[in-house]
Amino acid sequence: MAAVSDSRGMNPEEIEAASFRIIDEEAGGHDWSPEQWPVVRRVIHTSADYEYLQSLVMTPDAVTAAVTALRAGRSIVTDTTMALAGIRKDLAGSFGCRLSCNVAAADVAEAARHEGITRSVAAMRRACRENSDGIFVIGNAPTALFELMEQVRNGTCLPALIVGLPVGFVGAEESKNALASGALGVPFITNMGRKGGSTVAAAVMNALLLRAAEA
Amino acid sequence: MAAVSDSRGMNPEEIEAASFRIIDEEAGGHDWSPEQWPVVRRVIHTSADYEYLQSLVMTPDAVTAAVTALRAGRSIVTDTTMALAGIRKDLAGSFGCRLSCNVAAADVAEAARHEGITRSVAAMRRACRENSDGIFVIGNAPTALFELMEQVRNGTCLPALIVGLPVGFVGAEESKNALASGALGVPFITNMGRKGGSTVAAAVMNALLLRAAEA
């Protein structure tokens, strides 16, 4: 282990490969399919948290749906600028996927004030109108995920995939339970419990982008 | 709990306050001082992970050093664009603190190629030259933290504070152990173990910015 842990002479690719070997070894037996495992492993890599081995939940078609949508150049919408910052622009760009996050837009702040709703909700409403068949990535705000599900039920949008990983103590777990119930009929990747976050959501997207980039 | 968990009618401030009440209650007894607790609590709020209650480590002067440096308008340097995206620009700007992250700069990529080092290391070298008395926030790359410590030992820079929270399986723990040894004589906030990350590092900085903004 001493040799493996000496990262200072290693390049980022070598460090990632060494990390993945450690995770493969330490994770032991699990029921994730060969198609799903790269997603789960990258989340563990990003969080250093093996809880995700048990807590992640995805529809059987989630990875395939993501790969198809990415290769078709569907847009990717995030709820936070942190998730946006963490998604690999080089890969998204190679498929022609447009990345966006409305939460800091001036007109979204204005709409939120005018309608008496949060900026997260106003940003999601606009995203649903403008990216009705996109991939939606929510790493922070339960209210954004609740709003997205509402807009799907309303028929405003039909996402290609929902990556729903809000984190926190109020609303996060409930929003993910609602998504995981499968009532929407939309492919999704989420997790059970309070954990989640922008880094985890970005890791899921990067695993899917890498998968889509494979021959 | 049902009423508290119904977040849909709450604004972000109410959700945060309700979250903090839950954390205060669930955390139970601990040894963090009244000055340190807002930092620890915000990390738990961001991660939904009570491990940080035990694993965070900071020098006794860390919060005071941060408040003084922020009020003096010292620059804030991050290792990733995600950490940069997560730090509150409104508060940093109110003190005149300049925020920067060099990792995506074209000349850093060029320097990395030329010198045969990683972009993280090249970005940190430049940051140490240009922000020799700044606050350094490392949420991802152990190599960036190792390089920063090397530059401090060399006398290139003397940070006002190091927030060292790289995450991962190769090098992260070792880099934080080295920082926590206290051998540098620089105020720091770090944690023990593999966990950490850009969201956690940004949460620490936001807690410090909020503290500095108090009367």
Would you say residue B26 lies in a domain? no
AA identity, residue B21: R
Q: Which residues of A166-194 are buried (b: 16+ CB within 10 A; e: fewer)?
A: bbbbbbbbbbbebbbeeebebbbbbbbeb
Would you say residue B5 lies in a domain? no
Between B11 and A174, name the one with better pLDDT. Answer: A174
Encode pLDDT of A99-128 as tens digits.
999 999 999 999 999 999 999 999 999 999
pLDDT at position B63: 98
pLDDT at position A126: 96
The ipTM assigned to this model is 0.93
Encode pLDDT of B94-139 as tens digits.
999 999 999 999 999 999 999 999 999 999 999 999 999 999 999 9
Q: Which two tokens stand for residue B21?
A: 């009440």
Q: Is A45–B168 a contact, with Cβ atoms under 8 angstroms apart?
A: yes
Q: Which of residues 95-134 of A touch B (CB under 8 A)?
A: 118, 120
Would you say residue B116 lies in a domain? yes
CA atoms of A143 and A121, how far apart (whole Å)? 6
Would you say residue B25 lies in a domain? no
Encode pLDDT of B33-79 as tens digits.
999 999 999 999 999 999 999 999 999 999 999 999 999 999 999 99
A174 neighbourhood in chain B, CB within 8 Å:
5, 7
B45 is catalytic: yes
Give the minimum alpha-carbon distance from B168 to chain A in angstroms, rounded to a whole number.
6
Say yes or no: A168 and A120 in one domain.
Answer: yes
Indicate the pairing of strand B56-58 with strand A76-78: unpaired
Q: Which two tokens stand for residue B152?
A: 């401090």
Q: Is B5–A170 a contact, with Cβ atoms under 8 angstroms apart?
A: yes
Say yes or no: A52 and A128 in one domain.
Answer: yes
Give the minimum alpha-carbon distance from B64 to chain A in angstroms, rounded to a whole number.
27
Say yes or no: A85 and A6 in one domain.
Answer: no
Inform me whether the C-beta atom of residue B166 falls under 8 Å from chain A C-beta atoms: no
CA atoms of A117 and B10, how far apart (whole Å)? 9
Q: Which of B18, B45, B118, B171 is catalytic?
A: B45
Q: Is B170–A84 a contact, with Cβ atoms under 8 angstroms apart?
A: no
Give the minimum alpha-carbon distance from B188 to chain A in angstroms, rounded to a whole number.
21
Alpha carbon distances (Å) from B30 to B59, B188, B199: 17, 20, 23
Would you say residue B49 lies in a domain? no
Encode pLDDT of B145-204 as tens digits.
999 999 999 999 999 999 999 999 999 999 999 999 999 999 999 999 999 999 999 999
Say yes or no: A117 and A181 in one domain.
Answer: yes
Give the minimum alpha-carbon distance from B141 to chain A in angstroms, rounded to a whole number.
9
Would you say residue B155 lies in a domain? yes
CB pairs under 8 A between A and B: 120
Chain mean position to CA B79: 10
Alpha carbon distances (Å) from B194 to A87, A206, B48, B84, B140: 22, 21, 16, 21, 11
Q: How would residue B6 be classed by pLDDT, with cut points 50, 70 and 90?
A: low
Alpha carbon distances (Å) from B169 to A51, A53, A113, A133: 15, 16, 44, 37
| A149 three-state secondary structure | helix
CATH number, residue A90: 3.40.50.10230
Among A11, A118, A146, whose Cβ lies nearest the Cβ of B118?
A11
Inform me whether the C-beta atom of residue A24 falls under 8 Å from chain B C-beta atoms: no
Q: How would residue A10 be classed by pLDDT, with cut points 50, 70 and 90?
A: confident
Q: How would residue B4 be classed by pLDDT, with cut points 50, 70 and 90?
A: very low
Say yes or no: A55 and A22 in one domain.
Answer: no
With vertex at residue A194, the alpha carbon angle to CA A192 and CA A199, rounded to the nearest 5 degrees, is 95
Say yes or no: A17 and A66 in one domain.
Answer: no
Chain B's closest residue to A85, CA to CA, is B82
Q: Which two tokens stand for residue B207?
A: 């807690």
Give the minimum alpha-carbon distance from A14 to chain B in angstroms, rounded to a whole number.
10
Among B5, B18, B170, whose Cβ lies nearest the Cβ of A18?
B170
Inform me whether the C-beta atom of residue A197 falls under 8 Å from chain B C-beta atoms: yes
Q: H or E segment at A163?
A: strand A161-164
DSSP notation for chain B: -HHHH-GGG--HHHHHHHHHHHHHHHH-S----TTTHHHHHHHHHHH--THHHHHEEE-TTHHHHHHHHHHTT--EEESSHHHHHHS-HHHHHHTTPPEE--TT-HHHHHHHHHHT--HHHHHHHHHHHH-TTSEEEESS-HHHHHHHHHHHHHTS---SEEEE---SSSSHHHHHHHHHTTTT---EEEESSS---HHHHHHHHHHHHHHHH--
Query: What are the residue numbers of the active site of A?
Result: 45
Say yes or no: A18 and A48 in one domain.
Answer: no
Backbone angles phi, psi at B56, to 5 degrees: -70, 145
Q: How many domains does the structure of chain A reveal? A: 2
Say yes or no: A93 and A190 in one domain.
Answer: yes
Contacts of B1 (CB under 8 A, 6+ apart): none
Pair A27, A53: CB distance under 8 Å? yes
Would you say residue B185 lies in a domain? yes
| A60 three-state secondary structure | coil
Chain A's closest residue to B3, CA to CA, is A170
Q: Which of B1, B7, B45 to mutate to test the interface with A (most CBs of A within 10 A)?
A: B7
Where does residue B133 fall: left (phi above 0), alpha (psi -120 to 50 degrees), or beta otherwise?
Answer: alpha
Q: Is B199–A198 a contact, with Cβ atoms under 8 angstroms apart?
A: yes
Among B169, B196, B199, whose Cβ lies nearest the Cβ of A22?
B169
Q: For residue B179, give its domain range.
A: 54-213
Would you say residue B17 lies in a domain? no
Say yes or no: A99 and A22 in one domain.
Answer: no
CA atoms of A56 and A40, how far apart (whole Å)? 7
Q: Is A167–B47 a contact, with Cβ atoms under 8 angstroms apart?
A: yes
Pair B137, B163: CB distance under 8 Å? yes
pLDDT at position B10: 81
Among A49, A170, A173, whose Cβ lies nearest the Cβ of B195?
A49
Say yes or no: A74 and A111 in one domain.
Answer: yes
Q: Which two tokens stand for residue B201?
A: 């590092």
Identify the weakest region by mean pLDDT among A9-23, A63-77, A199-213, B140-154: A9-23
